[in-house]
């Protein structure tokens, strides 16, 4: 039985689209993104290393450098977690005492109806935490399992991305028809991912500039000097490279540091960040849209639909999946 080129292309498209959609309910999106990221980084590093080391050895060196970077980062994170746990074991209640000091400092600045909900003492706060942990034990177990699953899938995705990047790409003419069509689909997916990643870097820079102006210019004008300002600006850029969740993490850190001064500084920082990110939501869509030749409303609609269907992972996957769909439609000269 002979298949026409149109049928082969349609079959390859169905296989790739099915795989992309199944990655969301199967919670394999972190693995997919990690694999694509490592694959792209190897392809970006290899040309820069080839003047030093020719041939396939340049790709091996690129993979070795990335592997060393990933292992070093994970080691530092694990060492930091153990150091924190040991510090807490040697000084039980030290962090709680700091928290209660913040509560006491904020108590006189809060309205009475909010003050009534604050813990009166460290002992009362410990009891409240214990009761909350008991009532939410099953949810915490699920969160722990989910984090472990994501960590494992990330590692597997990075390993797969490195393995694929090391493979020699055979001549197109030697591939079977379906394999050639699948390779074409995956090439468009990689290109869409690359465009979104570069757009995310621009978004992170934009977010860092706005946040830096607030922390280093606006607050000092009102006589407020936030501790660790430079560190927070650097973390804002690094965390901003993570779609959606990165902004939430940096905002949380800034609000906590603001709380060390007063509740009003923390509220002002949180309010400013919320307003800025609402504005950035449309700017982000415009930046990403410019990278993949899509209108802002198209990406907003894609993110809205994917968020409704798959939750937070859908927001992350929406721009990448839509960029890939748009590239397929352009390849078919339908748009």
pLDDT in tens, 194-208: 888 777 788 788 888
**pLDDT score of 15:** 93
Q: Is the pLDDT of residue 216 over 90?
A: no
Question: What SS3 state is found at 87?
Answer: helix
The pLDDT tens digits for 108-138 are 555 555 555 566 655 666 666 666 666 666 6
Q: Which residues lie closer than 8 Å to 86 by C-beta, 6 or more apart?
A: none
Degrees, nearest 5: CA angle 329-331-335? 40
Q: Output 253 or 233, whichever has higher pLDDT.
A: 233
Q: Answer yes or no: is pLDDT of 14 > 90.
A: yes
pLDDT at position 181 is 87
CA 58 to chain centre: 29
Q: Is the pLDDT of residue 84 over 60?
A: no
Inform me whether the pLDDT recorded for 36 exceeds 70: yes
Higher pLDDT, 96 or 67: 67
311 Rama sector, left if φ>0, alpha if ψ -120 to 50, beta otherwise: left
Structure tokens at 178: 């379906």
| pLDDT for the residue numbered 18 | 93
Q: Worst-scoring range by mean pLDDT, 40-44, 80-84, 216-220, 309-313? A: 80-84
Tell me the pLDDT band of 20, cut-offs 50, 70 and 90: very high
Rounded to whole angstroms, how far apart are CA atoms 300 and 208?
Answer: 22
Count of helix runs (H) and strand runs (E) in the chain: 14, 0
**Is the model more confident about 297 or about 7?**
7
CA 162, 167, 168, 170 dihedral sign is negative
**Stronger pLDDT, 316 or 89, i.e. the higher one:** 316
Looking at residue 231, what is its pLDDT?
82
146 near 29, Cβ under 8 Å?
A: no
Rounded mean pLDDT, 103-110:
58
The stretch 318-331 carries a mean pLDDT of: 87
> Of 246 and 179, which is predicted with more confidence?
179
Q: Coil, strand or helix: which one is 136? A: coil
Band of the pLDDT at 16, cuts 50, 70, 90?
very high
């Amino acid at each position: 039985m002979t298949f026409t080129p149109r049928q082969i292309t349609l079959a390859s498209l169905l296989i790739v689209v099915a795989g992309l959609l199944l990655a969301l309910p199967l919670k394999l999106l972190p693995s997919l993104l990690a694999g694509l990221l490592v694959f792209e980084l190897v392809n970006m590093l290899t040309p820069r290393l080839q003047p030093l080391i020719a041939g396939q050895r340049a790709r091996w060196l690129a993979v070795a450098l990335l592997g060393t970077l990933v292992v070093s980062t994970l080691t530092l994170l694990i060492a930091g977690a153990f150091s924190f746990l040991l510090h807490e074991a040697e000084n039980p209640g030290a962090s709680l005492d700091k928290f209660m000091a913040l509560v006491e400092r904020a108590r006189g600045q809060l309205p009475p109806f909010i003050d009534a909900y604050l813990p009166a003492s460290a002992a009362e706060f410990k009891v409240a935490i214990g009761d909350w942990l008991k009532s939410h034990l099953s949810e915490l177990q699920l969160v722990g399992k989910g984090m472990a699953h994501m960590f494992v899938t990330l590692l597997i995705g990075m390993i797969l991305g490195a393995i694929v990047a090391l493979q020699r790409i055979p001549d197109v003419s030697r591939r079977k028809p379906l394999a050639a069509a699948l390779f074409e689909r995956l090439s468009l997916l990689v290109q869409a991912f690359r465009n979104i990643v570069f757009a995310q870097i621009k978004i992170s820079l934009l977010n860092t500039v706005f946040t830096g102006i607030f922390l280093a210019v606006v607050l000092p004008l009102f006589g407020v000097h936030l501790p660790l300002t430079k560190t927070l600006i650097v973390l804002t850029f690094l965390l901003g490279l993570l779609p959606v969740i990165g902004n939430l993490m940096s905002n949380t850190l800034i609000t906590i540091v603001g709380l060390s001064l007063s509740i009003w500084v923390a509220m002002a920082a949180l309010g400013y960040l919320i307003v800025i990110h609402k504005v950035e939501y449309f700017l982000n869509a415009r930046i990403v849209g410019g990278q993949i030749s899509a209108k802002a409303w198209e990406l907003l609609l894609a993110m809205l639909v994917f968020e409704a269907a798959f939750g937070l992972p859908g927001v992350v996957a929406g721009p990448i999946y839509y960029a890939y769909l748009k590239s397929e439609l352009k390849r078919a000269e339908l748009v």
